[in-house]
């Protein structure tokens, strides 16, 4: 059975030391570099979801790892993009469409930490560098807490906004906080996305439901050995559907 590691990153920067929560969402630039270098050394290609689509759908088989970044932080642009380019990799950035150029309004009070998000110019450079963007809703709500009209607005209109603003097709979606149910999935399908990605743990297996697709979160303390184990052993698969909550 063909299993593909689909990696989930958030911040590519050193975590603040004091009085903040969500420190686990940070991967240092050095660790990210070493992780990408390991993939290259092992003969793997880091790909965006769309660049890896033929592998995801089983039309091709090969040594690939899918790279995704949630929320669209500026540190992805400053720190991750040069590394991705160095190794010839591509990646998917899940963008919160109404907060472009703003900050993490959905959880900054809880985390006691303001993290800036990419602006339009930075996203355009990201795209011009061979990377992909996809939808992470308009405002990053918990979709399962919303009524149907609000779900549709967050899911559909984020796609429309991004397509109009950046003149690209938005093919993929990511559930904020990893929260989804059948109703939410139905609106993702109605909006004509081709896939939707969760925080359920495990490697993606070809043939899995593409609207509840698993990813592997890469936390702050993932040294190179743990990184290898998470990607290339059954470690994450055995913990399937344990939600990494953010």
pLDDT at 17 over 80: no
pLDDT at 80 over 90: yes
Domain count, the chain: 1
- Residue 28 in domain: yes
- Residue 123 in domain: yes
- Residue 245 in domain: no
- Residue 244 in domain: no
pLDDT in tens, 124-157: 999 999 999 999 999 999 999 999 999 999 999 9
pLDDT at 36 over 70: yes
The beta strand positions in the chain, using DSSP E, are 3-4, 6-9, 11-12, 26-27, 45-47, 64-71, 92-95, 132-135, 172-174, 195-201, 204-205, 213-217
- Closest C-alpha among 146, 93, 155 to residue 124: 93
- Neighbour-count burial of 128, counting CB atoms closer than 10 A to its CB (0-12 exposed, 13-18 middle, 19+ buried): exposed
For residue 140, what is the domain's CATH number?
A: 3.20.20.370
What pLDDT is stored for residue 220 in this prediction? 83
- Residue 132 in domain: yes
- Residue 117 in domain: yes
Backbone angles phi, psi at 27, to 5 degrees: -115, 125
Q: What is the mean pLDDT of residues 168-173?
A: 98
- Residue 42 in domain: yes
8-17, 31-40, 94-103, 145-154: range with lowest mean pLDDT: 8-17
What pLDDT is stored for residue 219 in this prediction? 86
Band (21; pLDDT cuts 50, 70, 90): low
What pLDDT is stored for residue 176 in this prediction? 98
- Residue 99 in domain: yes
What pLDDT is stored for residue 18 in this prediction? 60
What pLDDT is stored for residue 26 in this prediction? 85
Q: Which domain holds residue 114?
A: 3-239
Mean pLDDT of the chain: 93
pLDDT at 8 over 70: yes
Band (245; pLDDT cuts 50, 70, 90): very low
Residues 65, 232 contacting (CB under 8 angstroms):
no
What pLDDT is stored for residue 108 in this prediction? 84
pLDDT in tens, 85-117: 999 999 999 999 999 999 999 988 887 888 999
Cα separation, 52 vs 90, whole angstroms? 9
pLDDT at 23 over 70: no
What pLDDT is stored for residue 15 in this prediction? 74
């Amino acid at each position: 059975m063909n299993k593909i590691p689909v990696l989930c990153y958030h911040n590519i920067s050193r975590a603040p030391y004091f009085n903040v929560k969500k420190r686990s969402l940070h991967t240092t630039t050095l660790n990210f570099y070493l992780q990408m270098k390991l993939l290259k050394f092992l003969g793997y290609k880091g790909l965006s979801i769309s660049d890896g689509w033929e592998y995801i759908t089983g039309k091709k088989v090969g040594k690939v790892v899918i790279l995704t970044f949630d929320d669209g932080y500026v540190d992805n642009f400053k720190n991750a993009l040069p590394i991705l380019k160095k190794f010839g990799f591509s990646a998917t950035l899940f963008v919160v469409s109404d907060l472009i150029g703003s900050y993490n309004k959905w959880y900054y009070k809880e985390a006691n930490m303001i993290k800036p998000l990419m602006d339009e110019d930075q996203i355009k450079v990201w795209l011009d560098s061979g990377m992909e963007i996809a939808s992470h809703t308009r405002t990053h709500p918990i979709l399962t807490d919303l009524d149907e009209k609000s779900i549709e607005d967050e899911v559909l209109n984020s796609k429309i906004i991004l397509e109009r603003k950046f003149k690209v097709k938005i093919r993929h979606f990511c559930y904020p906080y990893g929260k989804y149910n059948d109703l939410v999935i139905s609106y993702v399908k109605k909006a004509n996305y081709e896939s939707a990605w969760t925080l359920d743990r495990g490697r993606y297996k070809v043939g899995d439901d593409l609207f509840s697709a698993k990813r592997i979160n890469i936390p702050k303390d993932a040294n190179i050995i743990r990184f290898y184990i998470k990607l290339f052993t059954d470690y994450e698969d055995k913990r399937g559907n344990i939600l990494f909550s953010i």
